[in-house]
Amino acid sequence: MDAVIKQATQLRQEFDQAYKKASIDTLLEQLNEIDIQMSKADFWKDQKQAATISKSHSDLSNRVEPWSRFTTELSELEEMISIGDSTMETELNDQLESLKSEFNNLKKLLRFDGLYDHNDAIFSIYAGAGGTDAQDWAQMLLRMYTRWIEQSGYKPTIIDQSGGEEAGIKSVTMEVQGDLAYGKLKNEQGVHRLVRLSPFNSDNLRQTSFAKVEVLPKIDQPDEEIDDKDLKIDVYRSGGHGGQSVNTTDSAVRITHLPTGITVSIQNERSQLQNKEMAMTILMSRLTQLKHDQHLEKLADIKGANQSAEWGNQIRNYVLHPYKMVKDLRSGVETSAVEDVLDGKLDQFIESV
C-alpha cells in the first residue's frame, strides 16, 4: 500500500497546483454571483441581457465541471486508501491509474490561458491565388473544419458565404460555439497550401492553390463601444440565394471602420437588423483582437489594419500529388493520411502548436 499512498499524495499535490493555476475558485465565485442574478424575480425582464448571462453561466459551468468532478473522485480515492488494506491494493491502484490519465487530460486545459481562449470563435476562409482550384480548395477546407468542429462537440453556424463562379466558394464566415472554440482554433489562422492534379484543367496538370483562414474570438461584451462617427454603414440588396426576401430588399449590410479601413459585409436571408448586429459583432471582434495584438489600452489607439495574415504566412502544406503528405510548417508535425485530415481529423495539428 505504501506505493499507492505515495502516488496518491503526489497526485494530490500536482492537482492542487493545477487547480490553483486554473483559477477554479475564482470561477466558482463568478458562477455563484451569476446564480444570485438568475434567481432574481425580474431576471427575464430584459431577455437579451438574460440570455447573455445564461450563456455565461453555461460556459462557466462547463469550465468548472471537470475540475469539480475530479476533486470529488480524488477525495473518494483518498478516503478509500485511508480505510483500505493490502487486499484492496490492486483495485486502488487501478483507480489511481485511471485518475492519473484523467488528470493528464485536465492539465492540457492549462495551456488555454489566453484572454479570449474560452470564447466562441468567428471562423473565416478566403480563397486565394489559383482561380477555380483555389475556390474549390476553400470549399474543401470548409468541409474539413466543419467535420472537426462537429466531431469536437462544437456548433458551427454559417453566417455569410460567397459562392465560386464555377465551383467552390470565394469566402465563408461561420460562428463556432462552445467552450475553448477560439482557444483551439486560433492557431489555424494563416495560409493553407494545396498541391494536386487539377480536376478543372483539361490537361490534368499539377496545380498549387492557396486559401487563407482567419480566426477571431467572438466578443459578446466589449470593453468599450465603437464611436459612431468612426463607422460608415451601407445597406444593399443581397446577392445570395435564400428566402423570398432575398434580392427584393436591402437586407445586406456593409460596415466600414474608417480609422483602420476594416470592412465587414454580411448578407443572407435574415433581416437587415440581424445582419447589422452580426457585422458589428465581427467588427468588434476584429478590433478587439487588433487592440490586444498591438498591446493598446484603447480602440482609438489602433494604428491600422493587421497585416499579419498575408499570403506569405503559410502554415501548412497539403500535398496530394506526386506523393501524399500534410505537413505543418510551424510544428513539423506531418502525416501521409491526407484523406483522414481532410475528413476532419485535425487534433494532431491543433494540439501541436
How many Å apart are CA 241 and CA 276, to the nearest integer?
Answer: 18
Chunked into runs of 10 residues, the chain (353 residues) has average pLDDT values of 92 96 95 95 91 90 94 96 88 95 94 90 91 94 98 94 91 94 94 92 83 91 83 82 49 91 82 89 90 81 53 85 95 96 96 86
Q: Is residue 179 part of a domain?
A: no
Strands 231-236 and 334-335 come out as: unpaired
Give the domain range for residue 96.
2-111
Note the pLDDT of residue 226. Answer: 87
Note the pLDDT of residue 246. Answer: 46
Q: Is residue 55 part of a domain?
A: yes
Q: Is residue 74 part of a domain?
A: yes
Amino acid at 80: M
How many Å apart are CA 136 and CA 198, to the nearest integer?
Answer: 10
Q: Is residue 85 part of a domain?
A: yes
Note the pLDDT of residue 84. Answer: 81
Note the pLDDT of residue 243. Answer: 40
Q: Is residue 259 part of a domain?
A: no
The domain that holds 26 is classified in CATH as: 1.20.58.410
Q: Is residue 119 part of a domain?
A: no
Note the pLDDT of residue 304. Answer: 59
How many Å apart are CA 107 and CA 101, to the nearest integer?
Answer: 10
Note the pLDDT of residue 1. Answer: 81
Note the pLDDT of residue 239. Answer: 64
What is the total count of domains within the chain?
Answer: 1
Note the pLDDT of residue 311. Answer: 57
Note the pLDDT of residue 303. Answer: 66
Q: In the chain, where do the E strands start and end? A: 121-127, 155-163, 169-177, 190-197, 206-217, 231-236, 252-257, 262-266, 314-319, 325-328, 334-335
Q: Is residue 227 part of a domain?
A: no
Q: Is residue 178 part of a domain?
A: no
